Structure 1
C-alpha cells in the first residue's frame, strides 16, 4: 500500500514508523527540513519538502496511486484542505487530525464525503477518553475495552501482599473465565504458557468479560476503588474534554489553569467543575486546594517537565493515583521509578486509532500499549479464513501472539485449546511488536 503522511511531527513520525515496519510504501511531506531529516535518518521512507495541500506536491508524492493519506499537521485547516485535494486527485482513503472543538463536530454538521475525509480524529478527545477509562479502573495500570464494552483488558501488578505470587498460571482457579495474555517482566514482554509462574513486580495483562472482572481482580489482591474527586492541571482542550467526561460521570472536578482568559472560558462552558486560577507548580496552592486528598490527579499541560514536576508534588502531598501526559517517549522509563502511577501519550493514542483504520480487513480497533510497544487488535474473522473448524490446539498459531477472547452470537468465549474460530467471529488478539503482519496473513 502506498501511504502519504502530511506532517513530520511526533504523530506523523509514529504513523510513518508503524506503516514502514509493516512494509508499506510511505511518503512523508513537511515544510520543515529538520523534521524531514529526522524522519529520513530513522525510517526507511521517502520524504518530500513542500505544502501538503498543494496539488503539485501531492502529485509528486504519488497521490494518484495512493490508497491512504493522513494529514496530521498542527494546522486543522491545512489537514482538512489536504484531504479535500487528495481525494480529488484519486487517493482512496483520507484521515484528518482535527483539534479545534469548532471543527470536531464536522461528523454531525457536514457530510464528511463533501470534504473528502473518511476519519476525523481529535488527539485531545482520544486522550481524555483514555484517561476516563483509567479513572474508572483506578487500581489498574492500564484499562481498555473491546467488543462494545463486553470484554475488558486490565494491567495489574503482582505486589508483595498478593497471594498468587509464585503460582503457575495453570494452577490459578476461578469460576469466572479469564486469560493472562501477557506478562511484563524486567522491561520485557512474555506471552506465557501454563507452567509460567507469577513473580513479584510482574505486570499481568488480563482479558475477561467486563462484568466479571471485579471478581477476577480479587484473585490478584486488587480492590476496586471508585474515583469520587479529581484534580486536573491544565485547562486546555484536553483538560476541558476530560472535565466534561468526569462531569458526565458525576465526579467532582477541580481544574487548575494559569491563564485567566482560559479560566473564564472553562467556567462558562463547564457545569459543575471548580476552576482555579493559579500556577500548578505553586506548592502552597496545591496544599490550599487540598490536592493531597484527591482520588486522582491528572497533569495535562503541554509542558512535559511541568507535568512531571506537579504530578510528583501531588503524589508527595498524598494524591491516591496520578496520571501525567508525556509527549516525549524518552521520559517513559523514568516515570515509574519516581513514583508516578501512569503516563498517557496523545501521540500513541492517536497513532493507534489511525492504525486501526489503516489495517486491511474488518479491523475494529488497534490499541497500542505504552509499556510494551505491543498491540491489542480486535477484528472480524473474514470468510477467507482457512483454518475455520479446526481446534486452536491443532493450529500453528504465530508464537508472538495469543488469542485473548472471541465473541460469537453476542456471547463471549475465553478460548482454550479445544475451541475453534469461525468466519464472522469477533477476535481480540494480543500481539508482540512486529508480529502484526504474521497475524494478518494467518487470518487472510
Structure 2
C-alpha cells in the first residue's frame, strides 16, 4: 500500500523464498538479512529514512530493530508487539527506553474491532469519528428496503445522513443525486451516532441485540474479546483445544464458560447448542478452520458468524460462502501504520473493503487556502467526498453551500487514486 502511494520502500526479509515473492509482486527494493543487525539497517539506509516499521512475528526482534534504528538516526519507528508486558508500558517508556513511537498489537485491535461489530450486527462495517459523535455503517440493501430503485435526490429523512459510497458487484461508486440504490448493494452511510438508529430504520434495517456468543479459539484475540464482552454482560463460551490455555482463561475470566475440545467436532458443536447462539466468532490461527467451523455453525442455525482471515486472498470468499463478516488483523495494522505516515493533521485512517476506499478524519490546517469559500466553489478532488464536518462541537452533514474553516474536523471518504489529491487539498 505504501509503495502504491509513491513512497520509497525497502523491505528487509531473512527468508529468501519470501523475499523472492515480494520482489515479484511489489515495486519495492529488497535486502536479504536480519533486521536487528546494524550493518543490514545501514545497508537499507535507515539513517536517512523517515520511518522504520518492524512487523516480524517476534516481539523482541521488532523492539531491538526499532532501538537500533533510532540510535542510527531514523525519524520514527513502529513495532508490532503482541506480549501484554510490552504493550501495556506507558508511552514515555516505549519511546525513550525502547525507541518506539507507535506499538501495534494486532490481536488487541482485532478484538476491539469484533466487539464493535457485535454492537451493530446488522452492519458489515462499524466506525466512529469525531470522538464517537459520527458513525459510519456499511449496510446491505435487501428486497424489503423502501429506498431501493429511488434516485438519491428523492430520499427524504428527518435525520441528516450521507451515502458516502455504494459497493456494487465489487466496484466502489461515489454516488450523485441521480444514482439509485439497488437490491444487493452495500451502502456506506454517515450520520450522527445518536441519530443512526432512525437512519437505519429509514433504510429498512432492523437492529438485533446480541446476548449469547460462542468464540472458537482461546488465543490472544479470543481472550481479549471475551474480556471485552464480559464487561458488556454477555453470555460467552470459549472453545479451545489447548488444555493449559483453557486453564489460563478460566482463572482470569469470571463469567465466561471455557470448553476444552476441538471446534471442528460437529458433535461438540451440537452438544454445546451452537445453533441457538446469536453469534459465532472463529479466531483460531488457522484461516481454513475459521472458515469451516463458521460454516458448520451457520448450518446448525447460528444467527451471525464472524471469522478471522489472515490471508487476503481468502477475503473475497467469505460473503460468497455465507459467512457474515471477516476481520483481518493485517488490514487493521495497516490502517494504524497508514495513519502514522499520512501528511497533515490526520486523526484517523480507516481502510474499507480491502483498501478499495478509505475514510480519513483530519483537522483543517490554518494554511487552508479555501477558507471562506463554499464547497461547491472549491473544486474538491473527484473520487472523494466530505462526509461530515465538526465545527465548534456541532456536527454538519455538508452540502454545497457549507464552508470548511481552519480548525474544523473533516471526515473524508476517498478512493485510492484520490488520497494524495486530498492531502494536497488540505495541506
Q: Fold match, TM over 0.5?
A: yes
Contact 1:362 1:382 in 2 (8 A): yes
Are 1:437 and 2:420 an aligned pair?
Answer: yes
Q: Match for 2:17 among 6, 9, 34?
A: 34
Q: How far 1:79 moved relative to its partner?
A: 0.5
User: How big is the shift at 1:25?
Assistant: 1.2
- 2:296 alignment partner in structure 1: 313
Maintained 8 Å contact 2:157/2:199: yes
Select the residue among 409, 412, 424 that pairs with 1:426.
Answer: 409
Give 1:23 shift.
0.9
Partners in 1 of 2:146 and 2:391 — Cα distance? 34
User: Does the CA contact (< 8 Å) of 2:172 and 2:356 recur in 1?
Assistant: no
Counterpart in the other structure of 1:261: 244
Q: Measure the CA separation in 2 of the matches of 1:253 and 1:70.
A: 36
Find the counterpart in structure 2 of residue 180 from structure 1.
163
Q: Which aligned pairs between 1:228-247 and structure 2 lie closer than 5 A?
A: 228-247=211-230
**After superposition, where does 1:21-420 map in structure 2 within 5 Å?**
21-107=4-90, 110-370=93-353, 373-420=356-403
Gaps of 5+ in 1: 1-17
Runs of 4+ in 1 over 4 A off after TM superposition: none
Change (3 A) 1:109 1:417: closer
- The 2-side partners of 1:226 and 1:110 are apart by 41
1:261, distance to aligned residue in structure 2 (A): 0.8
Q: How far is the alpha carbon of 1:234 from its aligned partner?
A: 0.3
CA distance, structure 1, for counterparts of residue 155 and residue 256 of structure 2: 44
SS in 2 for 1:435: helix
Query: 1:54-88, CA deviations, whole angstroms, 9 ceiling, x for partnerless residues?
Result: 11111111111111010000000010111111111
Shift of 1:147: 1.0
Q: Is the 8 A contact 2:344 2:426 kept in 1?
A: no
Displacement of 1:373 after TM fit? 2.0
> What SS does the corresponding residue of 1:58 show, helix, strand or coil?
helix
User: Cα offset for 1:111?
Assistant: 4.6
The 1-side partners of 2:334 and 2:269 are apart by 34
Cα distance in 2 between the residues matched to 1:109 and 1:118: 9
- 8 Å contact kept, 1:374–1:430: yes
Report SS of the residue matched to 2:333. helix
8 Å contact 1:127–1:345 — kept in the other structure?
A: yes
Which deviates further from its counterpart, 40-49 or 205-214?
Answer: 40-49
Task: Report the 3-state secondary structure (helix = DSSP H, G, I; strand = E; otherwise coil) of the residue aligned with 1:312.
Answer: helix
Q: TM-score, normalised by structure 2?
A: 0.98
CA distance in 1, matches of 2:91, 2:254: 23
- Superposition deviation, residue 155 in structure 1: 0.5
- 3-state DSSP class of the match of 1:110? helix
Q: Secondary structure at the match of 2:315?
A: helix
**Structure 2 runs not aligned, ≥5 long:** none
CA–CA distance in structure 2, aligned partners of residues 109 and 276 of structure 1: 40
Structure 1 CA distance for aligned equivalents of residues 330 and 354 of structure 2: 14
2-structure distance, mates of 1:398, 1:103:
42
- 2:254 and 2:155 map into 1 onto residues whose CA distance is 46
CA displacement at 1:109 relative to structure 2: 8.7
Is the contact made by 1:189 and 1:372 (CA closer than 8 Å) also made in structure 2? no
CA distance in 2, matches of 1:107, 1:267: 28
* Alignment partners' CA distance in 2, 1:384 and 1:20: 28
Cα distance in 2, alignment partners of residues 108 and 48 from structure 1? 31
User: Contact conserved, 2:275 with 2:297, CA < 8 A, in 1?
Assistant: yes
Q: Distance in 2 between matches of 1:265 and 1:278?
A: 15
C-alpha distance in structure 2 between counterparts of 1:75 and 1:120, whole Å: 13
Please give the secondary structure, in 2, of the residue aligned with 1:57. helix
**Secondary structure, counterpart of 2:385 in structure 1:** strand
Q: Per-residue displacement from partner, 1:322-361 (whole Å, max 9, x unpaired)?
A: 1001111212222112110001111101101111111121
